[in-house]
Amino acid sequence: MARPPLSAAAAAAKQAQKTAPKIDPNKQRSIHLILLGIPLMVVSSYGLYKRLIMGQEKRRQVGEMTPDGQLRMFNEEEIIEREKESYFTRIFGSESWTSSIRK
């Protein structure tokens, strides 16, 4: 079966695609990283906005699965202890500074 003839705009686009300049691989990589980084930045900024401006509390682990498949909820002391032992707290310290920033 023969293809129908291309419209003038489609033919011009196909010709322009053939004559488009080649992009340097380093520039391609840069553009790729920028396009990948923008959504990550937006999502993390939204989470920070919700916590600092809207006053939403930080999500914490409140329970764990036991070997037999049951959910065991932590008491308040265990939640605080888990928070102190987390890698984030070890690296960046506690988050007491966030309460002074909130409006």
Q: What is the pLDDT of residues 45-88, one digit of tens each?
A: 998 898 888 888 877 888 889 999 999 998 988 888 888 888 87
- Label residue 38 by pLDDT band (50, 70, 90): very high
DSSP 8-state assignment for residue 86: S
Backbone angles phi, psi at 71, to 5 degrees: -95, 120
- Label residue 96 by pLDDT band (50, 70, 90): low
Looking at residue 32, its pLDDT comes to 94
Looking at residue 1, its pLDDT comes to 58
* Letter string b/e over residues 17-49, b meaning 16 or more CB atoms within 10 A of that residue's CB: eeeeeeeeeeeeeeeeeeeeeeeeeeeeeeeee
